[in-house]
Amino acid sequence: MADVLEIDPVDDDLGYDYETTKIPDIIAPDEMIESGYQEGSEQSYGDRRDSKEGFGGEGDSDSGVDGVSSGCSVADDCPVVSINDVVAYYDDIRPRRRHVPQLSFYNVDIERLAMDALVQSESSYTSSEEGCGGGERHAVLSYEQVRRLNDVMDEVVAIHGRGNFPTLHVRLRELVAGVRARLEAPQTAGGAGVNVRDVRLNGGAASHVLADRPQPYSDIDLIFTAELPTARHCDRVKAAVLGHLSTLMPPATPRRRASPAGLKEAYVSKMVRVNSDGDRWSLISLGNSRGHKSVELKFVDTMRRQFEFSVDSFQIALDSLLAFHECAQLPIGENFYPTVVGESVYGDFNEALSHLAEKLIATRQPEEIRGGGLLKYCALLAKGYRPARPDKIKTLERYMCSRFFIDFPELGQQRAKLEAYLRNHFVGREEEALKHRYLTLLHGVVRESTVCLMGHERRQTLALIEALACRELCARAPVLLAPQYYVCVCACAACAQCAQCVACAQCAPPAPYCDCCHAASCPA
Q: How many CB atoms lie within 10 A of CB 109?
A: 9
Q: How many CB atoms lie within 10 A of CB 340?
A: 22
Note the pLDDT of residue 106: 35
Q: How many CB atoms lie within 10 A of CB 175?
A: 23
For residue 23, the one-letter residue type is I
Residue among 301, 321, 305 nearest 313 (CA) = 305
Alpha-carbon distance 491 to 485, whole Å? 18
Q: What ranges do the domains of the chain cover? A: 1-100, 136-358, 389-476, 479-524
Q: Give the pLDDT confidence of 190-220 residue by residue, as tens digits.
A: 889 999 999 999 999 999 999 988 888 888 9
Note the pLDDT of residue 185: 94
Query: What radius of gyration, in Å, describes the C-alpha atoms of the chain?
Result: 39
Count helices and strands in the chain by DSSP H and E runs: 17, 14
Q: How many CB atoms lie within 10 A of CB 240?
A: 25
Cis peptide before 166 (omega within 30 of 0): no
The 3-class secondary structure across 189-232, one letter per residue, is HCCCCCCEEEEEEECHHHHHHHCCCCCCCCEEEEEEEECCCCHH
Is the Cα dihedral 385, 388, 391, 394 positive or negative? negative
Note the pLDDT of residue 128: 41
Note the pLDDT of residue 115: 43
What are the per-10-residue average pLDDT scores of the chain (524 residues)?
49 46 49 46 44 43 42 48 56 50 40 42 40 73 95 94 90 95 91 93 94 87 94 93 92 80 91 88 88 89 92 95 88 91 94 95 90 94 94 92 94 95 85 92 95 91 95 70 46 44 42 39 41
Is the Cα dihedral 446, 449, 452, 458 positive or negative? positive
Alpha-carbon distance 125 to 391, whole Å? 10
